[in-house]
Amino acid sequence: MDDSELHNLQNACDELIRRQNSLLIASRSVDGAVAISYAPYFRDETGFYIFISELARHTQNLLAQPQASILFIEPEATASNPFARQRLTFDCVVREISKSHEDYAQKLDAMALKFGEIVDVLRTLPDFHLLVLQPQTGQFVAGFGKAFSVDSLGRLQ
């Protein structure tokens, strides 16, 4: 693969994340039941931050089993073929940011800049938890026969 093709693939991978405000989350309960859900996210160099209610099944799963798989996928409406939608998956370690941690307010402020005053409303609710999903490994699928390993930052390897 030449540099131009690699550059185009990297741009497609980066754009897939940039175009979306939420990510899909696969989690597992302590008894092994699998759940899939979604959450709006804010991203920085550490990972993907989500602010979610403990009333949701995925929150309970992520707190009990701090691992997740996340997915970004090309919308069906823009895909040329539903069997070959571009997608990016990451296997993540999950860490809770406690309300007393120095980063807590800063990360939620950044999330409020992205999503508006709803974040300020959610901050007042006692059942919400700030979690960071830290990618370990990943894969970008650009189409049929075009699957690439990515590092924790989404850089093609």
Answer whether 66's CB lies under 8 Å from 93's CB. yes
What's the whole-number mean pLDDT along residues 75-87?
94
In the chain, count H helices and then E strands: 4, 8
Whats the size of the chain, residue-wise?
157
pLDDT averaged over the chain?
96
Nearest to 111 by CA among 53, 14, 54, 43: 43
Distance from the first to the final alpha carbon of the chain: 12
Model confidence at 1, pLDDT cuts 50, 70, 90, reads: confident
Nearest to 20 by CA among 87, 118, 84, 83: 87
| Segment 4-31, tens digit of pLDDT | 899 999 999 999 999 999 999 999 999 9
Q: Does the pLDDT value for residue 77 go beyond 90? A: yes
Show the domains of the chain with their CATH numbers.
3-150 (2.30.110.10)
Q: What is the pLDDT of residue 61?
A: 97
Share of the chain above pLDDT 90, in %: 97
| Segment 85-118, tens digit of pLDDT | 999 999 999 999 999 999 999 999 999 999 999 9
The pTM of this model reads 0.94
Q: What is the pLDDT of residue 90?
A: 98
Q: Does the pLDDT value for residue 2 go beyond 90? A: no
If one compares 2 and 116, the residue with the highest pLDDT of the two is: 116
The dihedral region occupied by 113, where left means phi > 0, alpha psi between -120 and 50, and beta the remainder, is alpha
Share of the chain above pLDDT 70, in %: 100
Model confidence at 133, pLDDT cuts 50, 70, 90, reads: very high
Instruction: Give the Cα separation of 137 and 125 in Å (integer).
Output: 33
- Rounded-to-10 torsion of CA 36, 115, 113, 17: 50
